[in-house]
Amino acid sequence: MSRRPCAFKQRDVARAVRGAEAAGIRVARVDIEPSTGRISIVPAGIPVAISTEDAELDSELAEFEARHGQN
């Protein structure tokens, strides 16, 4: 059984990181999907914001639990 060629090269990863850093993005990590070679840059220091829809859903749940109590 022979090995198939790698879908990405180290220079592809280095190029993606350099491009992100040139755009002012601090890189926390690089994710690579081995089968397709897809390179994803995960930025550092960006807080995850709760969307308005999620906040509304949380408040509705809190109101429901206040009216009906928790089991």
> Tens digits of per-residue pLDDT, 46-55?
665 656 667 7
Residue 39, pLDDT score: 92
Instruction: Provide φ and ψ at 53, rounded to 5°.
Output: -65, -40
pTM score: 0.56
The string of DSSP letters for 1-57 reads -PPPPPSS-HHHHHHHHHHHHHTTPPEEEEEEETTTTEEEEEESS-PPPPPHHHHHH
Q: How confident is the model at residue 1 (pLDDT cuts 50, 70, 90)?
A: low
Q: How confident is the model at residue 20 (pLDDT cuts 50, 70, 90)?
A: very high
How far apart CA 70 and CA 11 sit, in angstroms, is 55
Structure tokens that stand for 69 in this block: 């109590």
